[in-house]
Amino acid sequence: MREGEPKGFLEEKYPDLPKSEEVASAVRRQDRRGGEKVKPQPKEKIEAYLDRLDEVFNPKDPEKRERRVGILKDKLHKLFVIKSEDIPESYFEHQKRIAREQGHGDIEITDEMRKQMADTIIHDQTQSLDVWVDYLGSEDATYPNWLKYFAFRSVTKLSEYDKEKKEFKKRSKGTTAPFPDINREALAYVLDSIEKSHKKEAKDGATDERWGKLLKTANFGKLYAHAIEKITPASQEEKENVQGEWVKYDQGSDAEPLYKSLQGHGTGWCTAGEGVARKQLEAGDFYVFYSNDKKGSNSIPRVAIRMQSGEIAEIRGINADQNLEPSMMEAAKEKMKGLPGAEKYEKRVADMRRLTEIESRFKKMSEIIERGINEEISAREQGRGDVEDGQADKAEESLEKLELTRDELRFLYEVDGQIDGFGYQKDPRIEKLRELRDIVEDLSIIFGCQPNQVALGKNQIRQDTVVYNGEWTPEVLSLLPEGVEHVYERFPDKKPFRRIIKSDDSVRSVDDAKTILRREGWEINASAEGLLGRLLEESAFLNEKQGYEAVIFSARSFGLPEGAEYSDMIIKARELGLDFLPTELVPQLRLQYKDQKNDETFTVAREPIAGSKEAMSMFLLGAGTGGGPRVGLDACQAGYPISLDKLYLFVRVLKPAKK
């Protein structure tokens, strides 16, 4: 039994866990390794599963960890993130009601609008779930694995927090809300208390009768909600005060003064938990900047600098997602100067300064708008005619057109690289500032074209379109002029798959293919190797070099109905000018697509076998057994329906460049 793990906790809480497929898979994996077999008792099976989770999150190789976590996330997304077909009709009716209340009248929600809404819901749920996976699998979460499992499994059953009822709503198959926000301070308070209660130790909060009753039930949702309510964030008045002092907590010192100085202040830092604080002080020194409270005492925690292995490991603030407050940047920068490892944070300081400068200009413009609105309202009430009607509307329009240089826009939209902050997640100011902008104007400046050369949907595509930002379908590809580089499904972070693949003389046999793939560490399994050999023998190798634009679409994006067959998709693809990638270029495709995500797998579409009802084989590109890219086989039964969400790769033959 792992030290600190309460006997039977998970087994009692989740009687289905020892019989689950994920536990059975972990047991089989451990048995295959040889040595002592896993005993059939439930607690032994659960231990094997927890050990497997530890292997996923804590391998020595960082790249291996990234691949394993990516595969795990993909599985979790499929299990817990809502499917587009499960979004209830009531959600869309609610959106129509909101539109009416905002004065937009009765709107018709088109299929394209439904898809965009569904994509947003799925994206937000995926992102909010990933936050929990990333944190619970990080070095900062020093809780035992049984507690991590308990927390994560509980979170997947919770929806948004009801501030009036002070409780979390329950999730269902049709829940459209994201998963709960993660508050590391509240989480530390909950998990610390549960661990102590099962160790029969004295616990903080024992005098809180309600807390004691909740601990006995081990209801995570109610405990987490109660902990959130106990936390009191610093008031705006307290935040405006930047006077204070740095306090150093030495490595190996008693953790109690540190975690008790943080509890109840709403920092969101996991260090407010005793267990985490103790582990962090074992690894290095810890610095906290405390500003003055209303009584003049330095007691409000504002910035934390954690050291590990003799250098800065992380810097956190008390803004959303533990980002630094702009007003505390200078204090953090000055303290960093004298600490080892500060150079790694120089870009973050520069990025946050630049973002704050842009934000300050928006704030000044917002103040002008507010004054304009108040002046117009006052003039109307007094019957004065010296104020022009609609000046507030004009002021709001000016906010969208607040002048930013091309470099500033590329920075704000992260075209040339991410904006690095100090929090766990992206600084929320980035998205808020983007929402205030006119996307068409900004895209035209960023990519150096006219506003009418920016298309936000297929109906706006023209022969001189330079930028496309909208739904990605085969029809859109057929409408776009060849050579358009700037294509997005959602600018700036979601681009569709598009690769230029050129024919050459590097692959003339299966031996060539094996050599070129294995030289780069790519896998090619035996079945795929056999098919590649047969098809290469039949290939009419091109004597002239030819360029192809490789693209990936789901079968659904072709607009096919449920029950459609593979041949239906091929007919539609050809109508839209799509073709098959020549067999000899499959290894080149695998070689060139080095940034494939762990959770992405697609099939290279191939000519159906004429008159055949047998299974046809196609190449499958995805993650291999070690997590790395591979070439495998996929089977398609010619006469049976295809999965509409399955991804297929086609090509568009490029016209030769004019000399």
**Type of residue numbered 121:** I
Query: pLDDT tens across 522-576, in order?
Result: 666 667 777 676 666 656 555 556 778 889 998 889 988 888 888 888 889 999 8
Q: What is the mean pLDDT of the chain?
A: 82
Highest averaged pLDDT of the listed ranges 45-59, 89-103, 366-380: 45-59
> 656 pLDDT band (50/70/90 cuts)?
low
pLDDT of residue 272: 87
pLDDT of residue 328: 93
Of 139, 145, 142, nearest in space to 277 by CA: 142
Of 146, 267, 132, nearest in space to 218 by CA: 146
Distance of CA 487 to the CA centre of its chain: 21
Q: How far is CA 224 from CA 15, 140, 176, 221, 228, in A?
A: 23, 19, 21, 5, 6
Q: Phi and psi dihedrals of 571, rounded to 5?
A: -60, -45
pLDDT of residue 445: 95
Q: Provide, rounded to the nearest whole percent, the portion of the chain with pLDDT above 90.
A: 31
**Which residue in the block uniquely carries the two structure tokens 């003049």?**
296
Mean pLDDT, range 94-121, rounded to an integer: 78
Mean pLDDT, range 210-216, rounded to an integer: 81
Query: pLDDT tens across 407-444, in order?
Result: 999 999 999 999 999 887 888 899 989 988 899 999 99
pLDDT of residue 625: 47
Please provide the DSSP assignment of 282-317 as one string.
Answer: HHS-EEEEEEE-TTS-EEEEEEEEEEETTEEEEEE-
pLDDT of residue 253: 95
Of 224, 113, 111, 214, nearest in space to 161 by CA: 224
Please state the pTM of the whole predicted model.
Answer: 0.69
> 372 pLDDT band (50/70/90 cuts)?
low
**Which residue in the block uniquely carries the two structure tokens 């507010």?**
370
Q: How many CA atoms lie within 13 A of 356 on its CB side?
A: 16
Whether the Cβ atoms of residue 439 and residue 338 lie closer than 8 Å to each other? no
Burial of 183 (0-12, 13-18, 19+ CB in 10 A): buried
pLDDT of residue 74: 86
Query: pLDDT tens across 568-613, in order?
Result: 888 899 998 899 888 777 777 777 776 666 667 888 888 766 554 4
Query: pLDDT tens across 457-510, in order?
Result: 999 999 999 999 999 999 999 999 888 889 999 999 888 988 888 766 666 666
pLDDT of residue 1: 39
Mean pLDDT, range 371-397, rounded to an integer: 58
CA distance 518 to 1: 43
Strand 158-162 with 167-170, pairing: antiparallel
Query: pLDDT tens across 185-196, in order?
Result: 989 989 988 888
pLDDT of residue 203: 46
pLDDT of residue 232: 82
Q: How far is CA 236 from CA 239, 242, 572, in A?
A: 5, 12, 59
The answer, yes or no, to whether residue 120 has pLDDT greater than 70, is yes
Mean pLDDT, range 20-34, rounded to an integer: 85
Query: pLDDT tens across 622-644, in order?
Result: 655 444 556 666 666 656 788 88
Q: How far is CA 462 from CA 469, 500, 651, in A?
A: 13, 23, 22
How is the chain split into domains, by residue range?
A: 236-340, 345-435, 438-496, 498-653
Other CB atoms within 10 Å distance of the CB of residue 78? 10
Q: 374 or 150: whose pLDDT is higher?
A: 150
> 3 pLDDT band (50/70/90 cuts)?
very low
Specify the range with the lowest mean pLDDT, choosing from 162-176, 196-210, 258-272, 414-428: 196-210
